């Protein structure tokens, strides 16, 4: 097949190129590389050949192919050496093909001292795509001046076809690897996961979902309609209805909770949309997270609140009543009166705690009745006027800057927002010494209502700020003295504002004061 003299393609050359074009039909990378090196050697009559894959970082040591008898370790050793001192390294660095007519005199050819095979000439070609070397093919022959420019042009044609085939095989292998990784990740997730098309047919599922549906393997489920399992588990009915009644849109995922009576488990369901723009496909991803433990805790909390609201109030009322009866029969100057007063204050604090607990829980669980259009500026002015006497008792100054003249009416729960504003002002008064100053500001900007209360009180250490809105959280500070409270007021404010789709915030410096506030969307 060597063309030492003739410069015109022969029928055998054309037949060889046709065989090379068949590489494009192969997707197995190893087969592509093995056939590429065999065809390259055949095309120019080479006696030995080698090929190794390469990317912009390093050699792919798992894909080194040689037609000589070498162990994998020997192949790696040889490639390392020729990349450093040999012809393949020169071609890789210069990104161009090269012919060595005389291996004994050409400095680019490296001779291994222990190599019995004598090389007379060599031809080395890079397989390139987008200026990146994908692979390097080296061909050798025992005779000098065996390889010609014609061989080089022929091998470059073969290399172009082989480059495309190698890239296709690499991409296919990468997709397969990603598919396996995705399947591994899906199976490792304990949540129940479904991938549906737009009509509700199951495209992908993990083992947890298969077990949820009562199937042993996912293979029995793929392709079936989600509605086929609705009769066996009412848990899937709202999911099926959501997939049927809603078309994929651009909005955020929607979530709801369901309970499987068959399994006695609670699930938080999140449905999001997937879309393949190229192929015009779309559908849903359904994730079901088991929240049974959380719901059991919530039910336990509800039971404890029921006990607190009913079973504790009766003994507290009896304690307070008997304390009053005992007080009637005692001398007003008796020291026992002081003990009875401690009992009264303690029962009042317990009742106050129960009231605060139930109030927070009621706000969290009761439906938000946004049926009243409220002038938030006028509401802020009312709250300032009503809290001014309370602030005056501590000889504090209360000022207001309410820039809300052009504020539109907003549909909110008036009573809840009033309580949130009152709580911020009274909280500022509690932690501000006598003679201090409290400033209330309200304004509207960028489609949001801003309300803040600033004081020059004792301030809050920075480590406490992230927790200040949590239930029962109180900063232990000797400067606060005996300020009454249970740490529920600010938590109630956050609950109210978040139910109105708003945000709360706080700024504070120890010894300078604090600034609490919230923002609400005006639409």
Confidence of residue 227 (pLDDT cuts 50, 70, 90): confident
Q: Give the 3-state secondary structure of residue 296.
A: helix
Whether the pLDDT of residue 49 is over 90: the answer is: no
Instruction: Identify which has the larger pLDDT, 114 or 224.
Output: 224
Tokens for 155? 């091998």
C-alpha pair distances (Å), 418 with each of 378, 384, 428, 454: 11, 10, 16, 17
What confidence category does residue 251 fall into, taking pLDDT thresholds of 50, 70 and 90? low
Query: Fold identical between 190-290 and 372-521?
Result: no
Strand ranges of the sheet holding 397-403, from the earlier edge strand across to the other edge: 397-403, 437-445, 448-455, 513-521, 503-509
- pLDDT tens digits, one per residue of 443-477: 988 888 999 999 998 888 888 888 888 876 777 66
Q: What is the pLDDT of residues 131-168, one digit of tens each?
A: 788 888 898 899 999 998 888 888 888 888 888 888 88
* More confident: 475 or 56: 475
On the CB side of 131, CA atoms within 13 Å amount to 0
pLDDT of 515: 94
CA dihedral angle for residue 467, residue 468, residue 471, residue 473, rounded to 10 degrees: 90
Q: What is the 3-state secondary structure (H, E, C) of 235-254?
A: HHHHHHHHHHHCCCCCCCCE
d(CA 56, CA 135): 11
CATH architecture assignment, domain 372-521:
2-Layer Sandwich (3.30)
- The predicted structure's pLDDT at residue 454: 94
Minimal CA–CA distance to 360: which of 507, 486, 449, 465? Answer: 486
Hey, what are 283's tokens? 């559908």
% of the chain at pLDDT higher than 70? 79
DSSP-derived 3-state class of residue 331 = coil
Instruction: Tell whether the model's pLDDT for residue 233 goes beyond 60.
Output: no
Categorise residue 264: left if φ over 0, alpha if ψ from -120 to 50, beta otherwise. left
In terms of Cβ atoms closer than 10 Å to its own Cβ (0-12, 13-18, 19+), residue 202 is: buried
Q: What angle do CA 320, 323, 325 make, to 5 degrees?
A: 115
Question: Percent of the chain at pLDDT above 90?
Answer: 11
pLDDT digits (tens, 9 = 90+) for 371-417: 568 888 888 999 999 898 888 888 999 999 988 766 767 788 887 88
pLDDT at residue 54 in the model: 77
Average pLDDT, the chain: 79
pLDDT tops 70 at residue 7? no
Q: What's residue 2's pLDDT?
A: 42
pLDDT in tens, 111-120: 887 777 788 9
| CA torsion, ordered 92, 94, 96, 102, to nearest 10 deg | -90
CATH topology of domain 11-177: Beta-Lactamase (3.30.450)
Can you give the pLDDT at residue 239?
Answer: 66
* pTM reported for the whole predicted model: 0.44
Domain boundaries, the chain: 11-177, 190-290, 295-365, 372-521
Residue burial 24-56, b: 16+ Cβ < 10 Å; e: rest = eebbebeebbbbbbebbbbbbbbbbbbbbbbee
CA distance 254 to 272: 7
Q: Tell me the per-residue pLDDT of 73-92, one tens digit each, with 9 for 90 and over.
A: 777 777 788 888 889 889 88
Sign of the torsion angle spanned by Cα atoms 112, 113, 115, 121:
positive
- CATH T-level assignment (fold) for domain 190-290: Beta-Lactamase (3.30.450)
d(CA 379, CA 404): 10
End-to-end distance of the chain based on CA atoms, in angstroms?
A: 81
């Amino acid at each position: 097949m060597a063309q030492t003299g003739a410069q015109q393609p022969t029928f055998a050359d054309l037949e060889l190129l046709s065989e090379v074009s068949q590489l494009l039909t192969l997707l197995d990378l190893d087969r592509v590389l093995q056939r590429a090196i065999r065809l390259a050697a055949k095309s120019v009559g080479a006696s030995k050949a080698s090929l190794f894959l390469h990317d912009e970082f390093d050699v792919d040591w798992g894909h080194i192919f040689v037609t000589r008898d070498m162990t994998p370790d020997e192949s790696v050793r040889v490639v390392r050496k020729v990349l450093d001192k040999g012809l393949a390294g020169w071609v890789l660095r210069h990104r161009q093909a090269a012919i060595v007519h005389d291996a004994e005199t050409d400095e680019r050819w490296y001779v291994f001292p222990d190599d019995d095979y004598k090389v007379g000439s060599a031809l080395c070609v890079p397989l390139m795509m987008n200026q990146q070397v994908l692979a390097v093919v080296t061909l050798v022959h025992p005779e000098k001046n065996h390889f010609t420019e014609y061989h080089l042009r022929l091998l470059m044609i073969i290399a172009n076809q082989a480059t495309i085939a190698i890239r296709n095989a690499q991409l296919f292998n990468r997709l397969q690897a990603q598919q396996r990784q995705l399947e591994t990740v899906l199976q490792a997730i304990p949540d129940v996961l479904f991938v549906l098309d737009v009509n509700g047919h199951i495209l992908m599922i993990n083992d947890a979902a298969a077990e949820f549906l009562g199937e042993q393997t996912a293979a029995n489920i793929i392709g079936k309609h989600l509605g086929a399992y609705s009769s066996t588990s009412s848990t899937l009915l709202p999911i099926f209805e959501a997939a049927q009644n809603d078309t994929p849109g651009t909005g955020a995922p929607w979530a709801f909770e369901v309970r499987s009576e068959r399994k006695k488990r609670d699930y938080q369901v999140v449905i999001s949309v997937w879309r393949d723009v190229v192929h015009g496909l779309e559908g849903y991803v359904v994730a079901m997270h088991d929240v049974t433990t959380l719901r059991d805790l919530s039910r336990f909390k509800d039971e404890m609140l029921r006990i607190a609201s009913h079973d504790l109030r009766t003994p507290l009322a009896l304690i307070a009543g008997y304390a009053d009866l005992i007080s009637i029969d005692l001398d007003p100057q008796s020291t026992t009166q002081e003990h009875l007063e401690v009992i009264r204050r303690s029962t009042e604090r317990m009742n106050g705690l129960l009231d605060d607990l139930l109030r927070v829980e009621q706000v969290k669980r009761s439906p938000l009745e946004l049926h009243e259009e409220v002038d938030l500026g006028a509401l802020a002015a009312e709250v300032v006027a009503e809290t001014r006497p309370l602030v005056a008792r501590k000889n504090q100054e209360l000022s207001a800057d309410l820039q809300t003249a052009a504020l539109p009416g907003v549909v909110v729960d008036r009573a809840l927002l009033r309580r949130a504003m009152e709580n911020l002002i009274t909280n500022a008064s509690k932690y501000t010494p006598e003679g201090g100053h409290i400033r209330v500001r309200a304004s509207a900007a960028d489609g949001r209502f801003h309300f803040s209360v600033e004081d020059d009180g004792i301030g809050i250490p920075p480590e406490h700020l992230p927790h200040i809105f949590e239930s029962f959280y109180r900063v232990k500070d000797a400067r606060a003295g005996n300020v009454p409270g249970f740490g529920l007021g600010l938590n109630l404010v956050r609950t109210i504002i978040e139910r109105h789709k708003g945000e709360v915030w706080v700024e504070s410096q120890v010894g300078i004061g604090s600034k609490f506030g919230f923002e609400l969307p005006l639409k």
